[in-house]
């Protein structure tokens, strides 16, 4: 992962800003335990579980990044171009930043319709996902240019109408007072020997 981050960091390997290895290994262990318990219920007896962190993270990363190296001989390097493009990042708007995923052919057509189908919308590089992936740096760079022309609120209204997934970029401090998280009672407070502390709740999986 540090090597892949170098594509976005001027060629220098960089760590992700979260302890992803610990979390992914823990989740994989939870899946393995659930599968083992299911096997026991089906009469397969007790199961031995081993979750090696290195292999877990290689599997996690290669889900998309094996890419052209799936083939023998390889058809390309082991990286997914859409994800390692330096242009793939939150977009600066007139008054903030937005994360938006204009992904499918329908998304792009809806986006172009919403902004009035400018001349560049007819460029063949936008026609299919294969065309866009092949030209991903130019495609996302063009999008970055147009995103600066409107405010967060204006873009969010447009994306909502066009049914394109998007979200304003919030700070970690914003999350502590997010209206949805407060409504969902996501943050829990507990009195401890060290004083009152705030903890995140488990995400609601079902009701």
Cα angle value 19/30/202 (rounded, 5°) = 70
pLDDT in tens, 89-143: 899 999 999 999 999 999 999 999 999 999 999 999 999 999 999 999 999 999 9
For 201, the 3-state DSSP assignment is coil
Q: What is the pLDDT of residue 205?
A: 65
The residue among 202, 184, 175 whose CA lies nearest residue 27 is 202
Domain residue spans in the chain? 2-80, 85-168, 177-207
**pLDDT in the model for residue 7:** 79
- Under 8 Å CB-to-CB from 150, ≥6 apart: which residues? 93, 94, 158
Q: Per CATH, is 85-168 categorized as 2.60.120.620?
A: no
Element (H, E) at 155: helix 152-162
The percentage of residues in the chain with a pLDDT greater than 90, rounded to a whole number, is 78
CA distance 15 to 10: 13
> What does the pLDDT look like over 163-183, one tens digit per residue?
999 999 988 999 999 999 999
């Amino acid at each position: 992962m540090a090597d892949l981050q170098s594509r976005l960091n001027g060629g220098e390997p960089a760590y992700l800003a979260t302890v992803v290895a610990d979390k992914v290994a823990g989740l994989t262990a939870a899946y393995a335990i659930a599968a083992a318990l299911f096997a026991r219920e089906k009469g397969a007896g007790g199961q031995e579980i081993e979750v090696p962190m290195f292999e877990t993270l290689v599997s996690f990363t290669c889900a998309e990044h094996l890419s052209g190296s799936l083939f023998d001989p390889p058809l390309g390097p082991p990286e997914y171009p859409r994800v390692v493009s330096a242009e793939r990042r939150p977009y600066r708007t007139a008054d903030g930043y937005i994360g938006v995923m204009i992904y499918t052919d329908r998304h792009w057509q809806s986006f172009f319709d919403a902004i009035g189908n400018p001349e560049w919308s007819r460029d063949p590089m936008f026609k299919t996902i294969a065309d866009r992936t092949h030209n991903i740096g130019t495609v996302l760079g063009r999008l970055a240019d147009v995103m600066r022309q409107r405010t967060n609120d204006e873009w969010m209204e447009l994306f909502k109408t066009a049914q394109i997934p998007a979200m304003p970029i919030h700070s970690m401090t914003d999350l502590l007072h997010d209206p949805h998280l407060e409504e969902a009672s996501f943050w829990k407070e507990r009195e401890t020997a060290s004083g009152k502390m705030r903890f995140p709740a488990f995400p609601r999986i079902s009701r």
